[in-house]
Structure formats: structure tokens, C-alpha cells
């Protein structure tokens, strides 16, 4: 039998920088399965987290393709989660990264927060196409 999952608030903050979300999910543990943890995490995000919490998480999220920002925030390692998610951007041509930076600025000016997308498995060019369509 697997042991119970008891995520701490600091470990949850590495996934999502919303303090109210992390506190609520941590307080609900321990969880019997990863599926139970994910179910509660989703429910807390969609039904208990105020808009200010969403904006807190968005503000802490690295911009897609902003490798210098990632270096400043996480050092040379980029942080385990961001490094994996943005791996495709690390090898992208400079022109694509510059265009992502331009579109990130346009997006923030229009919507008031940064462009966020699940970057895992997507190339920098794919992410650029997504931001342009939004």
C-alpha cells in the first residue's frame, strides 16, 4: 500500500505561487492518492481561490520564452518545473525569443497579466503561434 501524500505549503508554492491555494490544499491533506490530491487542488483553484489569488499566481509565473527572467528568478537551473516546461524555448532561435518577448508585452498590455500556456511538449514556434491567436 502506498503511503499518504502530505504536501507542505512550501512545496505546493513551487507549483503555484498562490498562497491561499497552497494553504488550503496543504490543510486538506494527507491524501490517499495523487488523484485525490489533484482533485482537491483543482477544486480549491476553481471554487475557493479568489481572483486576487489567481493574479498572485500569474504574477509569479515566468514569461514564456523569457530565459533571462528565468535565470534571474531561479539561477542557472531555472527551477525544476520551469526548466522542464520551457525546455523548448531554451534552444529556440533568438528571433523567435524576441518575437515571444514582443507578443508577451502586447498580451500583458491588452489583458493586464502575462500570457500563460502549458509549454510542456511545445516548441517556441508553437507557443508563439498560440499567443498570436489569443
Domain spans, the chain: 9-57, 61-133
Would you place residue 1 in the very low, low, confident or very high pLDDT band (cuts 50, 70, 90)? Answer: very low
Per-residue confidence (pLDDT) for residue 22, from 0 to 100:
96
More confident residue, 64 or 109: 109
Q: Say which of 19, 61, 83, 108 is annotated catalytic.
A: 61
**Which residues, 6 or more positions from 54, have their beta carbon under 8 angstroms from its beta carbon?**
18
C-alpha distances (whole Å) from 26 to each of 3, 29, 101, 121 are 16, 6, 35, 29
Would you place residue 60 in the very low, low, confident or very high pLDDT band (cuts 50, 70, 90)? Answer: confident
More confident residue, 55 or 73: 55
113 is catalytic: no
d(CA 31, CA 29): 5
Q: Is 25 left (phi over 0), alpha (psi -120 to 50) or beta?
A: alpha
d(CA 132, CA 134): 6
Domain 61-133 has CATH 1.10.3330.10: yes
Question: Residues 11-31: pLDDT tens digits?
Answer: 999 888 999 999 999 999 999
User: Is residue 70's pLDDT more than 60?
Assistant: no
Average pLDDT over residues 69-91: 52
Question: Residues 84-124: pLDDT tens digits?
Answer: 555 556 667 888 888 888 898 899 899 888 888 877 788 88
Per-residue confidence (pLDDT) for residue 123, from 0 to 100:
84
Would you place residue 76 in the very low, low, confident or very high pLDDT band (cuts 50, 70, 90)? Answer: very low
Per-residue confidence (pLDDT) for residue 78, from 0 to 100:
41
Amino acid at each position: 500500500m502506498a503511503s499518504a501524500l502530505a504536501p507542505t505549503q512550501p512545496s505546493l508554492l513551487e507549483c503555484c505561487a498562490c498562497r491561499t491555494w497552497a494553504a488550503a490544499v496543504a490543510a486538506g491533506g494527507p491524501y490517499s492518492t495523487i488523484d485525490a490530491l489533484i482533485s482537491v487542488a483543482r477544486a480549491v483553484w476553481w471554487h475557493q481561490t479568489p481572483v486576487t489569488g489567481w493574479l498572485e499566481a500569474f504574477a509569479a509565473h515566468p514569461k514564456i520564452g523569457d530565459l533571462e527572467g528565468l535565470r534571474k528568478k531561479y539561477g542557472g537551473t531555472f527551477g525544476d518545473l520551469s526548466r522542464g516546461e520551457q525546455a523548448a524555448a531554451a534552444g529556440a532561435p533568438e528571433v523567435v525569443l524576441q518575437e515571444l518577448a514582443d507578443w508577451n508585452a502586447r498580451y500583458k498590455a491588452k489583458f493586464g497579466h502575462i500570457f500563460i500556456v502549458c509549454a510542456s511538449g511545445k516548441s517556441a514556434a508553437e507557443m508563439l503561434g498560440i499567443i498570436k491567436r489569443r
